[in-house]
Structure 1
Amino acid sequence: MPELLCKRLGQVDYLPTFEAMKTLTDERDDDSADELWLLQHPRVFTQGRAGKAEHVLAPGDIPVVQVDRGGQVTYHGPGQWVIYLMVDVKRRGLGVRALVDVIEQAIVKLLASYGIEAAPRAEAPGVYVGADKIASLGLRLRRGCSYHGLSLNVDMDLEPFSRINPCGYEGLQVTSMARCLPQQTLDMDRVGDSLLAALAAELEQASAGTRAGVCR
């Protein structure tokens, strides 16, 4: 099994990153390493393939980008960690549902390490603290490989979520780690590194009878 590469890209614009994901997916072969990209984006709304215009309420000065992942509209911005998963799911013996489970469980375990009780919902992909959504996910599979991934609200301005119906759900409330932990100062880099480690561990455990390699 080729190694698992973890790349920390800092804050990067959405569109070039989207194009880079597609290029990597199109050009990779059976021996290519899987990659996890940890990053943040400047403020942007992204609308999935099945996205309905009525879920974008009042974007204002924030651009709306049409993308090829599943799901409806979501928001990315500073203070939110995003991880994109360029994973050969066929090689790992995983299906889409299994990969979604890997992502959700990694987020749940990361949040638990900070004392935040969270859980996924079968009817609405993502991770929730009570009724409030704290993490979103959306994937695309092409040539047996995934791209796009997850976003976790750490310490960010949540106002832009009021300009959309998050993930297509009218009235859905959104929260963040900072809102759940008002007395605690969060170290963004530490949260990001811990999320990467949790995701790599879950991916290794779920891969069918193989070691997924060390995230480095």
Structure 2
Amino acid sequence: MIVHDLGTMGYGEAFELQERLLSQVRGGQEEALLLLEHTPVYTIGAGGSLDNLLDPTLDVNRVNRGGDITYHGPGQLMGYPIIDLASRGRDLHRYLRFLEELLVEVSEALGVTGFTCAGRTGVWTTRGKLASIGVGVRRWVSMHGFCLNVSPDTSPFQHINPCGMAGCPITSLALERGAEPAMAEVKELVVSRFAPLLEERLPRCQHP
């Protein structure tokens, strides 16, 4: 597993990098995990409804992932795993549950209790949504991934129905803890847990 810590990067540049790495992984090269923050951007999944954009003057990027409309910006940790799911059982449901479990573990390590909700992909606390997940798969290689709210400005979410849910409250690790965790610490926790949990939940197998 190659980890790319990319700092802050525009959405388009990150998307192009994902596509290049996806082609490489599909060709047999090592899997990758991209960790970064985005400059402010709104994105919407392939099947998302623009009815969930409450301010029509805003630009929204339609992208090839699941899920509805969301916002990304500074203070959010974006994780884009480029994973060969063909060699890991071809089970998208298990992959989504793995990402949720990873984010719950990372949050708990930082003193925040997160949980999942049946029928709603992502991680929540009693205050609101802490992390969102939206993935794309091309020939059983994954792209896109997760967004963990570390210490973002949550006001941009007022212009949308986050993830297609009207009135959805948004929280963060900083709000839950009453103190802002260092992004470097959060990244370190993700990196230390990602590969071991992936091998446990989606172990490699022979291609069918």
Band the TM-score falls in, shorter-chain normalisation: over 0.9
Contact 2:80/2:146, CA 8 A, preserved across alignment: yes
Instruction: Measure, in 1, the Cα distance between the counterparts of 2:191 and 2:59.
Output: 28
- How far residue 144 of structure 1 moved from its aligned partner, in angstroms, is 1.3
Instruction: Measure, in 1, the Cα distance between the counterparts of 2:201 and 2:190.
Output: 16
Please, which of 21, 26, 31 is the counterpart of residue 24 of structure 1?
Answer: 21
DSSP-derived class of the 1:125 partner? strand
Q: Which position in structure 1 is the counterpart of 2:41?
A: 44
DSSP-derived class of the 2:132 partner? strand
> What is the identity, as a one-letter code, of the residue corresponding to 1:26?
S
Q: Which position in structure 2 is the counterpart of 1:75?
A: 71
- Distance change >3 Å, CA 115–CA 36, structure 1 → 2: same
Instruction: Measure, in 2, the Cα distance between the counterparts of 1:124 and 1:131.
Output: 16
**4+ residue runs of structure 1 moved beyond 3 angstroms?**
26-30
Q: Report percent identity of matched pairs.
A: 33
Contact 1:107/1:198, CA 8 A, preserved across alignment: no
Instruction: Measure, in 1, the Cα distance between the counterparts of 2:97 and 2:168.
Output: 22
Q: Which position in structure 2 is the counterpart of 1:189?
A: 184
- Distance change >3 Å, CA 90–CA 209, structure 1 → 2: closer
Instruction: Measure, in 2, the Cα distance between the counterparts of 1:93 and 1:32.
Output: 18
Q: Which position in structure 1 is the counterpart of 2:197?
A: 202
- How far residue 122 of structure 1 moved from its aligned partner, in angstroms, is 2.1
- How far residue 16 of structure 1 moved from its aligned partner, in angstroms, is 1.5
> What is the identity, as a one-letter code, of the residue corresponding to 1:150?
F
CA RMSD of aligned residues (A): 1.6
- How far residue 150 of structure 1 moved from its aligned partner, in angstroms, is 0.1
For the pair 1:91 / 2:106, whether they are aligned, the reply is no
For the pair 1:173 / 2:169, whether they are aligned, the reply is yes
TM value normalised by structure 2: 0.93
Instruction: Measure, in 1, the Cα distance between the counterparts of 2:38 and 2:204.
Output: 35
For structure 1, list consecutive stretches of 5 or more residues without a partner in the other structure.
211-216
TM value normalised by structure 1: 0.89
Please, which of 4, 9, 12 is the counterpart of residue 9 of structure 2?
Answer: 12
Contact 1:69/1:138, CA 8 A, preserved across alignment: yes
Instruction: Measure, in 2, the Cα distance between the counterparts of 1:94 and 1:27.
Output: 18
Q: Which position in structure 2 is the counterpart of 1:158?
A: 154
- Distance change >3 Å, CA 6–CA 59, structure 1 → 2: farther
Q: Which position in structure 2 is the counterpart of 1:109?
A: 105
For structure 2, list consecutive stretches of 5 or more residues without a partner in the other structure.
none
Contact 1:47/1:72, CA 8 A, preserved across alignment: yes
